Amino acid sequence: MPSTKNYVVLLNEFAGGGQSKAAWPKLAQRLNQHLINYQLYRTEYPGHATKLAYKLAQEAPADTILIVVGGDGTLHEALNGLQQIPKNTIILAYIPCGSGNDFARGAGISRQPLTALEQLLKVRQPRTFDVGHYQEALAHEHGFFMNNIGIGFDAAVVHATNRAPSKRYLNKYHLGSLAYIVSLVGTFFRQQAFPVKITSQQTTTEFKRAFLVTTTNHPYFGGGVPIMPSASMHDHKLDLVVMERVNTLYFIFLFIMMFLHLHTHFKAVHHFKAEELRIQTASPEFGQADGENMGKRAFDITFDVHHQRFLC
Ligand SMILES: Nc1ncnc2c1ncn2[C@@H]1O[C@H](COP(=O)(O)OP(=O)(O)OP(=O)(O)O)[C@@H](O)[C@H]1O
Q: What is the DSSP string of 204-228?
A: EEEEEEEEEEEEESSSEETTTEES-
> With respect to CATH, is domain 132-306 assigned 2.60.200.40?
yes
Mean pLDDT of the chain: 94
C-alpha span between 159 and 144 (Å, rounded): 19
pLDDT digits (tens, 9 = 90+) for 21-47: 999 999 999 999 999 999 999 999 999
Give the pLDDT score at 166. 67
Measured in Å, residue 68 CA sits from the centre of ligand 1 at 12
Give 135's DSSP letter: E
pLDDT at 171: 65
11, 14, 105, 290, best to mutate for ligand 1 pocket (most atoms within 8 Å of CB): 14
pLDDT at 305 over 90: yes
Q: Atom 30, ligand 1: which residue's CA is nearest?
A: 46
Distances from the Cα of 161 to the Cα of 65, 156, 172, angstroms: 32, 8, 15
Q: Does the structure show a pLDDT above 70 at 176?
A: no
- Would you say the CB of residue 15 lies under 6 angstroms from ligand 1? yes
The residues facing 10 across adjacent strands are 41, 68
Report the 10 Å Cβ neighbour count for 170.
Answer: 21
pLDDT value of residue 185: 87
219: left (phi over 0), alpha (psi -120 to 50) or beta: alpha
Specify the domain boundaries for CATH 3.40.50.10330 within the chain: 7-124
The closest alpha carbon to 90, from 121, 119, 116, 68, belongs to 68
The CA–CA distances, whole Å, from 152 to 156, 292, 294, 302 equal 6, 14, 11, 16
Q: What is the whole-number distance in angstroms between the Cα of residue 292 and the centre of ligand 1?
A: 9
Domain boundaries for CATH 2.60.200.40 within the chain: 132-306
Residue 19 Cβ contacting ligand 1 at under 6 Å: no
Architecture of the domain spanning 7-124: 3-Layer(aba) Sandwich (3.40)
pLDDT (0 to 100) of residue 154: 93
Q: Residue 4's pLDDT is what?
A: 77
pLDDT value for 87: 87
Determine the pLDDT at residue 1. 54
In the reported structure, the alpha carbon of residue 172 is separated from the centroid of ligand 1 by a whole-number distance in angstroms of 14
Q: How far apart are CA 292 and CA 154, in angstroms?
A: 11
Terminal Cα-to-Cα distance of the chain (whole angstroms): 22
Q: What is the pLDDT of residues 66-114, one digit of tens each?
A: 999 999 999 999 999 999 998 899 999 999 999 889 999 999 999 999 9
